[in-house]
């Protein structure tokens, strides 16, 4: 049995991870952390009935964390701190949280010298194939204008999405350091740039399109997440994969999926 702790257990993704862990014969929910719903049963909060694991105040994590793998879907600030604690305790990591700054990344890279971690801005298998398709297309469409559009629910805190930024990073790997332009207003003739646009509204789970726009034609590569279960299934795959990895360092879903 792989003993899993979940940080952000009362959140949208955290509750789904709790559900998936409880329903998986290879996994056991060892601990659940959050800064709200403290003391309540994590299974009841997740809608799978009482499981006898209370949500523990995240402030206590440093003292009590005890698991094989910590899954983190929280906020960028919180995740950096949780990664520090897990690395200190030798607890492996699966981190889905997005919105990290360069400063955050420096710390994360330091902490993950001690512990293996899968960190991905998008755990869906489909999005990882979407990134591969973008990488394929950009190599043949270097002269085309490239734009990225992402759409998410009204509660998403960071913009643009980590998934859109990763698509931009992949494109820049082949086209040099193109400037990213986040939205346009006023007089702004198109330069040597990639436009990145974020739509926020309602309950959109997550949609991404990369446009390759030429003279007289256009290719659009689109991924649509229809339910958060796409992310949860990938995160669970990552938990089972990292449990078998001993070499410390940061891994991605491409490693988990063997892409």
34 contacts 10 by C-beta, under 8 angstroms: yes
**The two three-digit tokens of residue 153, written as one number:** 């629910």
Interface with ligand NAD (CB under 6 A), residue from 43, 116, 121, 195: 121
Residues 6+ apart with CB under 8 A from 7: 14, 33, 34, 58, 61, 70, 71, 72, 73, 74, 78, 79, 82
The site string for ligand NAD over 56-95 (x = CB under 6 A, - otherwise) reads --x--------------xxx--x-----------------
By CB under 6 A, tell whether 33 contacts ligand NAD: yes
Interface with ligand NAD (CB under 6 A), residue from 4, 5, 8, 70: 8
Out of 156, 172, 178, 240, the active site residue is 156
Query: Exposure pattern of 55-68 as b/e (b: 16+ CB <10 Å)?
Result: bbebeebeeebebb
By CB under 6 A, tell whether 252 contacts ligand NAD: no
- Residue 57 beta carbon to ligand NAD: minimum distance, rounded to whole angstroms: 9
CA-closest candidate to residue 130, choices 13, 248, 230, 215? 230
By CB under 6 A, tell whether 96 contacts ligand NAD: yes
The site string for ligand NAD over 147-166 (x = CB under 6 A, - otherwise) reads --------------------
Segment interacting with ligand NAD, rule: CB under 6 A, options 120-128, 143-151, 183-191, 216-224: 120-128
State the Rg of the chain over Cα.
19
By CB under 6 A, tell whether 7 contacts ligand NAD: yes
152 is catalytic: yes
CA-closest candidate to residue 92, choices 110, 56, 127, 67? 67
Question: Alpha-carbon distance 110 to 231, whole Å?
Answer: 26
Active site residues: 152, 156
Residues that bind ligand NAD in the complex, under the rule CB under 6 A: 7-8, 10-14, 33-36, 58, 73-75, 78, 96-99, 120-123, 231
């Amino acid at each position: 049995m792989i003993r899993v702790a979940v940080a952000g257990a009362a959140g949208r993704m955290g509750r789904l991870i709790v559900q998936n862990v409880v329903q998986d014969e290879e996994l056991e929910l060892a601990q659940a952390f959050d800064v709200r719903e403290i003391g309540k049963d994590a299974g009841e909060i997740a809608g799978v009935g009482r499981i006898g694991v209370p949500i523990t105040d995240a402030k206590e994590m440093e003292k009590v964390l005890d698991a094989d793998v910590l899954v983190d879907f929280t906020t960028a600030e919180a995740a950096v701190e949780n990664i520090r604690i897990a690395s200190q305790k030798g607890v492996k990591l699966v981190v889905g949280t997005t919105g990290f700054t360069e400063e955050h990344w420096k710390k994360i890279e330091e902490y993950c010298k001690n512990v293996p971690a899968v960190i991905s801005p998008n755990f869906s298998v489909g999005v990882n194939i979407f990134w591969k398709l973008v990488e394929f297309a950009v190599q043949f469409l270097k002269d085309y204008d490239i734009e990225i559009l992402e759409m998410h629910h009204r509660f998403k805190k960071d913009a643009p999405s980590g998934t859109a930024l990763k698509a931009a990073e992949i494109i820049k790997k082949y086209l040099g350091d193109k400037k990213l332009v986040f939205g346009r207003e006023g007089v702004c003739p198109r330069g040597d740039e990639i436009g990145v646009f974020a739509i926020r509204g309602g309950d959109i789970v997550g949609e991404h399109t990369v446009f390759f726009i030429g003279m007289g034609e256009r290719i659009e590569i689109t991924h649509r997440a229809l339910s958060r279960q796409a992310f949860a299934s990938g995160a669970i795959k990552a938990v089972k994969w990292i449990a078998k990895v001993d070499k410390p360092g940061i891994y991605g879903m491409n490693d988990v999926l063997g892409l």
